[in-house]
């Protein structure tokens, strides 16, 4: 059986993985945004749309909400991925399918980055291919690789950056250090938490400088300067934008938003029992992960230098998890994407011992590899659904009718959208977005008189049936599900202001 997958035919994975993954995701390529974390997908896709439609300046990522800041510019992570996809839209036209295809290709780059990292570390093309295969069918990766979230670019850059780092460690060539620093920069620019992988780089350079002594440490100091120079753009960006993140719990984590011990234990239990085996790994890869942990201790691999270089990033990831425990909770599974790299490298160590072990172990490993696609599909495919979008289902089910009820360029008020992004994307509208069952009459009058807003989308009967609000309505244009579309009276139609 070992001859079925050898060094000579590992290249077949270069077409097997893309074709199989494409077939499994086929219906998603033409599906508009829906599913788990629709709010983050919507925010990212709005960045892409606004780069394409309005402002191509990469420093000005925009959303469609007009009442949370003086402008619609919302600087968060550096929007390189969004801007690059908008570039493709500039050439091919605007389409959610184009966005999906770009993300799918980025995901393939991430998979080949994992192959490159595995081959660099283990010097074994077969093992690297098996690692890439297993990684591709992580349900977490399988789901988000088709969805517009910046973590996709961050993960891709970090994996390639670590691959080139270990190439540099083996070659001592500045070129490899520069490639590593460039890709790690992409990771950090796309999502700040991915800076944790600099822990591996820092530990290695610090250890080598201490080992060689200052007199002979010149090459490692120069390599450190290369990494530092590449990191400067990310430092500059976040130093500029983080002061504007007031009220964002990501910045303060557990420092200002502590949770009870019982709640922390509940979250940890969820991650240990479900997220790690079912989403990060895939139940089929749990075998490899457990084998990896077992053989790490059995072979005392923790005494080897490369183990600690990898472990420091794993420990940094755990520190990040602890700091953001209240924010990650049991909801934000994509916050766990930095864990994919260390978790799958542990799994790869288990693959090595099972694949090249006894015949029963080899057959067991082969079976596990074969069921990975099926388990990934069964675990993740249903996440693209109206029910899993956790928003008003009418927004998705009647999206086209609701969009077309009002001209696209009209500024509209939207109520209620706690995410602030799902309604503006689904309705393809810009305007003030409200998140609670309240809208003071004086605000409505101000929107009509001063802001010249002519329409309201509402799923809040407490608001649109309020006797103090109804005098501002001219016409009910459309009602679908619990969503209603109203035309406001014009300023001229309102009674003179007292």
Stronger pLDDT, 137 or 4, i.e. the higher one: 137
Who's near 345: CB < 8 A, 6+ residues apart?
Answer: 117, 118, 121, 131, 310
Q: State the pairing for strand pair 473-480/483-488.
A: antiparallel
Main-chain phi, psi angles of 21, to 5 degrees: -65, -40
What's the token pair of residue 352?
């090595």
Q: Is the pLDDT of residue 2 over 60?
A: no
Residue 1: which pLDDT band, with cuts at 50, 70 and 90?
Answer: very low
- List strands edge to edge, sheet with 433-434: 433-434, 412-415, 455-458, 483-488, 473-480
Using the predicted structure, report yes or no on whether residue 76 has a pLDDT greater than 80.
Answer: yes
Distance CA 425, CA 44 (A): 10
- Among all chains, which residue has been given the structure tokens 């080598």? 208
Beta strand pairing status for 483-488 and 455-458? antiparallel
Confidence of residue 307 (pLDDT cuts 50, 70, 90): confident
pLDDT at 251: 73
Q: Any idea which of 174-178, 232-236, 407-411, 482-486 has the lowest mean pLDDT?
A: 407-411
Q: Does residue 248 register a pLDDT over 80?
A: no
Give the predicted TM-score (pTM) of the model. Answer: 0.95
Q: Tokens 């001209």 correspond to what residue?
A: 407
How far lies 459's CA from each of 202, 413, 414, 480, 484, in Å? 52, 12, 9, 10, 6
Least confident of 297-311, 381-395, 461-475: 297-311
Number of C-beta neighbours around residue 453 at 10 A: 19
Question: What's the pLDDT tens digit per position in 112-164?
Answer: 999 999 999 999 999 999 999 999 999 999 999 999 999 999 999 999 999 99
In this predicted model, what pLDDT tens digit does every residue of 320-372 receive, in sequence order?
999 888 888 888 999 999 999 999 999 999 999 999 988 899 999 999 999 99
Instruction: Specify which residues 62 forms β-bridges with.
Output: 73
Region of residue 436 (left: phi > 0; alpha: psi -120 to 50; beta: else): beta
Phi and psi at residue 483, to the nearest 5° = -90, 135
Evaluate whether 373 touches 284 at the Cβ level (below 8 Å).
Answer: no
């Amino acid at each position: 059986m070992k001859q079925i997958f050898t060094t000579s035919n590992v290249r077949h994975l270069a077409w097997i993985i893309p074709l199989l993954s494409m077939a499994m995701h086929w219906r998603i390529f033409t599906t508009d945004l829906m599913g788990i974390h629709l709010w983050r997908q919507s925010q990212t896709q709005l960045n892409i749309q606004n780069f394409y439609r309005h402002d191509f300046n990469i420093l000005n990522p925009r959303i469609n909400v007009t009442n949370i800041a003086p402008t619609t510019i919302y600087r968060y992570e550096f929007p390189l991925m969004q801007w690059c996809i908008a570039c493709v839209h500039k050439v091919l036209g605007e389409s959610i399918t184009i966005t999906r295809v770009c993300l799918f290709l980025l995901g393939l780059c991430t998979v080949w980055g994992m192959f490159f990292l595995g081959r660099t570390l283990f010097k074994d093309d077969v093992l690297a291919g098996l690692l890439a295969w297993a990684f591709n069918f992580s349900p977490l990766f399988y789901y988000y690789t088709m969805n517009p979230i910046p973590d996709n670019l961050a993960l891709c850059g970090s994996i390639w950056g670590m691959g080139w780092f270990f190439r540099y460690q083996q070659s001592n060539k500045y070129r490899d250090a520069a490639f590593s620093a460039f890709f790690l920069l992409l990771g950090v620019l796309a999502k700040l938490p991915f800076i944790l992988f600099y822990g591996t780089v820092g530990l290695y350079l610090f250890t080598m400088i201490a080992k060689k002594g200052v007199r002979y440490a010149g090459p490692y100091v120069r390599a450190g300067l290369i990494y530092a120079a590449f990191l400067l753009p990310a430092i500059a960006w976040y130093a500029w934008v983080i002061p504007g993140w007031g009220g964002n719990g990501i910045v303060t984590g557990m420092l200002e938003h502590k949770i009870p011990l019982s709640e922390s234990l509940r979250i940890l239990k969820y991650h240990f029992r479900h997220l790690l085996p079912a989403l990060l790994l895939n139940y089929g890869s749990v075998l490899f992960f457990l084998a990896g942990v077992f053989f790490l201790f059995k072979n005392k691999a923790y005494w080897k230098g490369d183990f600690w270089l990898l472990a420091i990033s794993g420990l940094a990831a755990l520190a990040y998890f602890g700091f953001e425990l209240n924010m990650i909770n049991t909801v934000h599974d994509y916050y766990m994407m930095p864990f994919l790299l260390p978790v799958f490298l542990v799994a790869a160590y288990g693959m090595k011992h099972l694949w090249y072990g006894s015949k029963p172990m080899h057959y067991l490993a082969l079976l596990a590899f074969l069921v990975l696609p099926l388990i990934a599909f069964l675990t993740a495919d249903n996440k693209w659904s109206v029910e899993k979008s956790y928003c008003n289902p009418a927004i998705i089910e009647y999206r086209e009718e609701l969009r077309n009820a009002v001209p696209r360029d009209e500024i509209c008020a939207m109520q209620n959208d706690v995410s602030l992004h799902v309604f503006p994307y689904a309705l393809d509208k810009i305007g003030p977005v409200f998140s609670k069952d309240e809208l003071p009459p004086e605000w409505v009058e101000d929107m009509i008189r001063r802001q010249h807003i002519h329409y309201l989308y509402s799923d809040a009967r407490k608001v649109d049936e309020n006797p103090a609000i109804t005098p501002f309505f001219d016409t009910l244009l459309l009602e679908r599900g619990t969503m209603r579309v109203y035309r406001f009276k014009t300023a001229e139609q309102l009674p003179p202001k007292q």
